[in-house]
Structure 1
Amino acid sequence: MAAAMASQGERAVLEEEFKWLLQEEVHAVLRQLQDILKEASHRFALPTSGSGRAVKQENFVLSTSGTEQVKGVMTLQGDALCQADVNLKMPRNNQLLHFAFREDKQWKLQQIQDARNHVNQAIYLLMNRDVNYQFKTGLEVLKLMDAVMLQLSRARNRLTTPATLTLPEIASSGLTNFKPAGGSVLHNPGAMFEFGSQRYEVSHVHKVECVVPWLNDALVFFTVSLQLCQQLKDKISVFSSYWNYRPY
C-alpha cells in the first residue's frame, strides 16, 4: 500500500514537471529559437521588394587547394554573383588566360535565396500561434520541432551542397557565349562545348573556393538552432519513459 502511494506521489510530481515543461520551458526555447533565426535571416542582407535599399558589393579572393594554376576575385552582391575575374595558367606552356563576367550579366545564386526562404519558413512556424497559446501534449511540441528542423536542415543543405550545373544550363543562362555539345556536366573531364567555330573538350578541372563570412555565420546559427530543437525533443522523450503510455 505504501509502495503504491509512493508510486502515485512520484507520478504526480512527474506530471507537474511535465506540465511546467509544456507551459514554461517550451515557450522559452521557442523565443530563443526565434531570436537566433532572426539573426540568421538578417545575415543574408537581401533587399525586399519595394525597399529601395541597395545591397553592398563584397569582393572575395578565389583560391584552390594544392595548386597555383587558378587565381581570381569574385564580387558578390546579396544573392547575385555580379563580377568575376579569373586567371588560368595553362599546364603545358604556362600561358596565362584571363576570363571575366560579362558586364551586363549577373549570376543569381539560387541556393542563397532558397536558404533564406527556408529560414523564414522556420520563423513563421515558430511564431504562428497566439502569444498566450499553451501546448497541451508533448506530441504537439515534437511535431513543431520536426517541422522547424526540416526547414533548417534544408537551409543548411542548400548552402553546403549547392547543385551542379550542366553545360546546357550554363549556356542557357546567357552568361557565356559557348554552345554545349550534349548534356555533359561542366565539372567532368571529357565534356564538350563549342566557342565560335571551334569545338573544345574539358581536359582538366580546377575547383576554386572562397570564404563568405556571413554565410558561415548563418550556418553556425542553423547548427545551434538544430541542437536546441533536438534538446527539447530529448526532454519530451525522457518524460515519456516514466509512463507505460506516452503522455502526449
Structure 2
Amino acid sequence: MAAAMVSSAERAVLEEEFKWLLQEEVHAVLKQLQDILKEASHRFALPAGGSEGAAKQENFVLSVAGMDQVKGVLTLQGDALCQADLNLKMPRSNQLLHFTFREDKQWKLQQIQDARNHVNQAIYLLMNRDVNYHFKTGSEVLKLMDAVMLQLSRARNRLTTPATLTLPEIASSGLTKMFSPALPPDILVNFYINLNKLCLTVYQLHVLQPSTTKNFKPAGGSILHNPGAMFEFGNQRYEVSHVHKMECVVPWLNDALVFFTVSLQLCQQLKDKISVFSSYWNYKPY
C-alpha cells in the first residue's frame, strides 16, 4: 500500500513538472511566432531608413522575352502602385501608345493591404496576454493556435488567390481613370498579386457589330480572360482580341510567404504535441 501511495505521489509530481515544461514550451513557441510575424509585418511596411512607418519606392520592369507589344515600369510603395509607365504597341496598326499614372493618383493593392491586416491580427492574438500568463488547459492553447492559423491562412490566401473579376468589373474599376492620357475604350488593364509576383494584364478589345452578336455569350468572372471572351459595357458589346500578361517578382512578398509557411508549421507542431500529451493537461475537447 505504501509503495502504491509513493508511486501515486511521484506520478503527481511528474505530471506537475510535465505541465510546467509544456507551459515553458508553449511560451517559447509563442515568442518565436511573434518574432517571425513581426518580420513578416515589417516586409509589408518596408520602413525606409530614418522614417518610421514610411515605405520606400521600388521600381520593377515588366517585359516578356520575345514580346515587345507591352513594356512598362511599375513603382511600388508598400501596398500602393504610385507610378506606372506603360508602352503598348497596337497589333493591327503598329501604333505605339504611351501611358503613365496621373501625378495625383495611386492604386492601392487590396491584396497586400488585407494580407498585412491579417498578419497584424495574428500578432495581436499572440501578444494579447501577459508574458507570464498560465494556460489552464491544452484546449486553450489549441484554440489560440487555430485562431492564429486562420489569420495566417487568410493572409497567405490573399496573396496566392487573386480575385476573379468579370470584364465589366474591370472596365468600370477606378483603374481606368488612373492614366494620362486616358486609356482608349478598346484597352483594359488590371493589376494584381499572384504569389510573390506583381502582375499586369492588358486586354485589347474590338467592338461587336449588331450583325455578329447572335452568338453573344458574356464571360463570367476569371483571374485571366482569354481572347474571344465577350462582354457588354455601356450599351456596347465587346470581344477580347488580344491578351498580354506580364509579371515581375517582388522579393519581399516571397519573404512574407516563407514566413507564413514557417509560422503555420510551428503552430501545427505545437498543436500536435499538445494533443499527444493532452491527458497530462486536463485536456477537454471543444
Q: TM-score range by the shorter chain?
A: 0.7 to 0.9
- CA distance change for structure 1 residues 240 and 90 in 2, over 3 Å: closer, same or farther? same
SS of equivalent to 1:133: coil
Q: How far apart are 1:25 and its partner, in Å?
A: 0.5
The match for 2:250 is 212
Larger mean Cα displacement after TM superposition, 190-199 or 66-75? 190-199
In structure 2, relative to structure 1, the CA distance for the partners of 1:59 and 1:3 (3 Å cut) is: farther
Identity %: 91
Equivalent pair of 1:85/1:99 in contact (CA under 8 Å): yes
Q: Which TM-score applies when normalising by structure 1? A: 0.77
Give the C-alpha shift of residue 206 in structure 1. 2.7
Gaps of 5+ in 2: 175-214
Counterparts in 2 of 1:224 and 1:105: CA distance versus 1, 3 Å: same
Please say if residues 190 and 201 of structure 1, whose CA atoms lie closer than 8 Å, have aligned partners that are also in contact. Answer: yes
C-alpha root-mean-square deviation of aligned residues, in Å? 5.0
CA contact 1:137–1:247 (8 Å) conserved in 2: no
Partner SS, residue 253 of structure 2: helix
Whether the aligned pair in 2 keeps the contact of 1:61 and 1:72 (CA below 8 Å) is yes
Change (3 A) 1:207 1:17: farther
- TM-score, reference length from structure 2: 0.68
SS in 2 for 1:188: coil
Farther-moved stretch of structure 1 (14-23 vs 149-158): 14-23
Query: What is the rounded CA distance, in whole Å, between the counterparts of 1:100 and 1:208 in structure 2?
Result: 17
> Residue 96 of structure 1: CA displacement?
4.7
Moved more, 108-117 or 59-68: 59-68
Task: Out of 9-18 and 123-132, give the one that drifted further.
Answer: 9-18
Alpha-carbon offset, residue 5 of structure 1? 8.6
1:247, CA displacement in angstroms?
8.9
C-alpha deviations, 1:202-224, integer Å up to 9, x for none? Answer: 12323211111111111111111
Distance in 1 between the 2:217 and 2:53 partners?
37
Aligned length: 246
Q: What whole-Å deviation, never above 9, does each CA across 1:95-152 have from its counterpart, x for those lacking one?
A: 6554443443322100101001000100110011122210111111111001000000
More strand per residue: 2
Shift in alpha-carbon separation, 1:123–1:182, aligned structure 2, 3 A: closer
Note closer, same or farther for the CA distance 1:188–1:220 as it changes in structure 2 (3 Å cut). same
Secondary structure of residue in 2 paired with 1:24: helix
Residues 7 and 86 (structure 1 numbering): CA distance in 2 closer, same or farther, change over 3 Å?
farther
The more displaced of 38-47 and 209-218 is: 38-47
Q: Residues of 2 paired with 1:216 and 1:184: CA distance?
A: 24
Closer, same or farther: CA 183–6 of 1 in aligned 2, 3 Å: same
